Homo-oligomer: A and B are copies of this chain.
C-alpha cells in the first residue's frame, strides 16, 4: 500500500492532548525529525494549535517553518510547544460532526497521517478517527503516541512523562527529608508533600524510591487506593517522630476518606468564605498538629512536578523520543490504529525496546497500581514496586542554561492558510 497522492508525499497532523509533561515535546521532536529524514515519503507535519481543537478549527501550525535547531530544542523543553487541550471527543454517534470535520480538514490539507500524543482518551479518539475515515472512504493512518504522567496506559510497560515526575518527586522528598531531619530537634517534625495522581497511586508510589534505608524519608505514603485511616496514620506518625526524630509524608491528591470522599474537597472554607480551596497536604498537616501537636510544614508542587524538565529522567527522555520516532516509522510502514509501546526486556540490568499495541487494546483501559506494590500496612511500597519504578528515574538529562536559567524554546507557531470556507465552533 502507499499513502502517496498527487505525486506529492502526503502530509501529517500531530496534536498534543491533555495535561502536558516534561517530555511530550521530546516525542514531537522524534516525530518531526524522523519526518524530515524522509522527505520523499512524507510532506509537511502540521501541528494542531492547542491540540485537536486546532484541527477542528483548521488552525494548523506549519512545523516546516521551524528551524532544525528549534525542533532539536524541543528535546529539552517541557510543556506542549504547540499547545494542548482538554477536549474529549465522545462516541462516533455523539460526536459525528466533529469526526467528520476532522476528516474534512485532513482532506483539505492532504493529511494522511494522524498522530495523537496523549493518554487513554486520546488513544480512543485516534482509534475512532481511523474508523470514521474508513467509513467515509478517506484513508487516514492513525497512530497514538503514549503520554501521561499518570502512567495508567495498558500494554506499554510505562508511559513517557511519568518517569520524570517520579524522579522529581523522589528527589524532592529526599531533599525535604534532609531539611526536616536538620530542624526536627527544636522545630518542624512533620513534613507533608502532596503529589498528583487523582485516580491511581503511581506518582505517590514513586516517592517511596527515595527511602533506601530504614528511617529514610518518606516514612509514610498515603495512596488514593487506600482509604484514609486516621488512627493508624496518626500512630504511624508518632512512631516515626519517636523513632527517627521526624516524619516525612507523601500524600496523593486523590486521598479519600472511608466514605470515599476526597479529603482535599472535604468542605474547606477560606477567608473569603469560598469553599473547596483544595489541597490535601494542609488538611493532613493540620490534622497532625491538632492531634499530636507537632510543628509541621507542607508543600504542594502541582504543575512544578510535571513541568520539571530541569530534573527529567534520562530514561524517560530517551523513551519519549523513541515513541515519537517509532510512531512516524509505523506510519511510513503503512500501519494504522496502533501505538508504539515501551517493552521491558529485562529488569536487572534494565533494558527496554519498542513494541506495538493496537489502539483498540489501549483505548479506555486504565492500568491501576497493582495491589502488591503497596505494603501491607498501606503506608509504603514493596520491593516489587521498587524494582518496577527504579529504572524509570535513571539518568539525568539536563537542559542547556542561559543566564542561569534553562534555555527552553518557544516556537514560531505560524499557521498555514485556511482552505475551508466554513468555520467550526468548538
Instruction: Give A268-318 interface residues, CB cut-off 8 Å to B.
Output: 268-272, 274, 277-279, 281-283, 286-287, 289-290, 297-304, 306-311, 313
Min distance, Cβ A308 to any Cβ of chain B, angstroms: 6
A7-15, A110-118, A323-331, A400-408: which lies at the B interface? A400-408
Question: A54-96 interface mask toward B, CB cutoff 8 Å, 1 = contact, 0 = none?
Answer: 0000000000000000000000011111011111000000000
Contact of A290 among B272, B289, B298, B302 (CB under 8 A): B272
Q: For residue A314, which residue of chain B has the nearest CB?
A: B404
| Residue A319 lies at the interface, judged by CB distance under 8 Å to chain B | no
Which chain B positions have C-beta within 8 A of A220?
A: none
Whether A278 contacts B282 by the Cβ 8 Å rule is yes
Which chain B positions have C-beta within 8 A of A297?
A: 302-303
Chain A contact surface mostly: mixed
Given the contacts A272-B286, A286-B274, A84 and B182 also touching, CB distance less than 8 Å:
yes
Min distance, Cβ A365 to any Cβ of chain B, angstroms: 24
Which chain B positions have C-beta within 8 A of A87?
A: 186
| Residue A263 lies at the interface, judged by CB distance under 8 Å to chain B | yes
Instruction: Give A220-267 interface residues, CB cut-off 8 Å to B.
Output: 263, 266-267
Given the contacts A174-B408, A272-B283, A185 and B83 also touching, CB distance less than 8 Å:
yes
Whether B172 contacts A212 by the Cβ 8 Å rule is no
Which chain B positions have C-beta within 8 A of A278?
A: 282, 298
Min distance, Cβ A53 to any Cβ of chain B, angstroms: 7
| Residue A180 lies at the interface, judged by CB distance under 8 Å to chain B | yes
Given the contacts A182-B83, A271-B267, A398-B396, A307 and B209 also touching, CB distance less than 8 Å:
no
Min distance, Cβ A255 to any Cβ of chain B, angstroms: 12
Which chain B positions have C-beta within 8 A of A53?
A: 185-186
Whether A298 contacts B300 by the Cβ 8 Å rule is yes
Copies of chain A in the complex: 2
Whether A175 contacts B268 by the Cβ 8 Å rule is no
| Residue A40 lies at the interface, judged by CB distance under 8 Å to chain B | no
Given the contacts A83-B185, A282-B279, A299-B302, A307 and B404 also touching, CB distance less than 8 Å:
no
Whether A405 contacts B171 by the Cβ 8 Å rule is yes
| Residue A16 lies at the interface, judged by CB distance under 8 Å to chain B | yes
Whether A277 contacts B272 by the Cβ 8 Å rule is no
Q: For residue A174, which residue of chain B has the nearest CB?
A: B405
Which chain B positions have C-beta within 8 A of A393?
A: 404-405
| Residue A364 lies at the interface, judged by CB distance under 8 Å to chain B | no
Whether B408 contacts A303 by the Cβ 8 Å rule is no
| Residue A362 lies at the interface, judged by CB distance under 8 Å to chain B | no
Min distance, Cβ A232 to any Cβ of chain B, angstroms: 17
| Residue A34 lies at the interface, judged by CB distance under 8 Å to chain B | no
Whether B395 contacts A404 by the Cβ 8 Å rule is yes
Given the contacts A78-B175, A87-B186, A277-B282, A301 and B303 also touching, CB distance less than 8 Å:
no
21 contacts between A and B (CB under 8 A): A20-B182, A20-B183, A50-B185, A79-B178, A79-B181, A84-B183, A172-B308, A174-B406, A175-B303, A175-B308, A175-B406, A176-B304, A209-B403, A209-B405, A270-B283, A271-B283, A272-B287, A274-B286, A299-B301, A301-B304, A395-B404
Which A residues contact B (CB, under 8 angstroms)?
A: 16, 19-20, 50-51, 53, 77-81, 83-87, 167, 170-172, 174-176, 178-183, 185-188, 191, 193, 209-210, 212, 263, 266-272, 274, 277-279, 281-283, 286-287, 289-290, 297-304, 306-311, 313, 390, 393-396, 398, 401, 403-406, 408
The 4 closest A-B pairs by CB, nearest first: A80-B182, A79-B178, A266-B271, A393-B404
